[in-house]
A = this chain, B = another copy of it.
């Protein structure tokens, strides 16, 4: 065995499977942590355990939270009339960093995809339509990625809301073609949100 003990070897293997990491970066991180084993490493173990035990999906919007409803859904200062629909929690975090939006969110957890056989029910789109139809929502902002699947999903939701008095908007140009929100700088996201257009 190369890496000192069975646990160290298992830890390197597990780390190497995390997104963006591989065997080399995993080994580097594990050796760094072992050098900081009484501080950073124990702290990381505790936090991972706590987040693993306490994290769940907000029952209202699908955001990651440690309670039934997330801090955004329960914040009395935020506007109730606007719901911003995103593909995943990373996109919600990116929009929040931009501080351009003060309404509520809805996390789809993906996009419609013929290839992957993901339909409206898999994304809870009927529940979304129900949610936005009930509560005095004036505007639904479809902040979906500028990919084919993202735009297909946006059009599907826009069509489903046709005939209601809800204004459906999308992010303005400024999101590059094929661009994923999570990889954009905060300013670009803010500008695109402010210049959002009716679909």
A residues contacting B by CB (< 8 A) are 1-5, 7-8, 10-11, 14-15, 17-21, 24-25, 27-34, 37-38, 40-55, 63-66, 70-71, 88-90, 93, 96-97, 182-183
- Complex CA–CA separation, A14 to B42 (angstroms): 11
Contact of A55 among B19, B37, B54, B55 (CB under 8 A): B37
Asked if residues A52 and B42 are in contact (CB atoms below 8 Å), the reply is: yes
**Who on chain B is nearest to A8 by CB?**
B51
Most B CB atoms within 10 A — which of A4, A38, A96? A4
CB neighbours of A15 from chain B (8 A): 44
Contact in complex: A50, B90 (CB < 8 Å): no
> Copy number of this protein in the oligomer?
2
B52→A33 contact, CB < 8 A: yes
Whether the pair A14, B40 counts as a contact (CB closer than 8 A) is yes
A10 proximity list for chain B (CB < 8 A)? 47
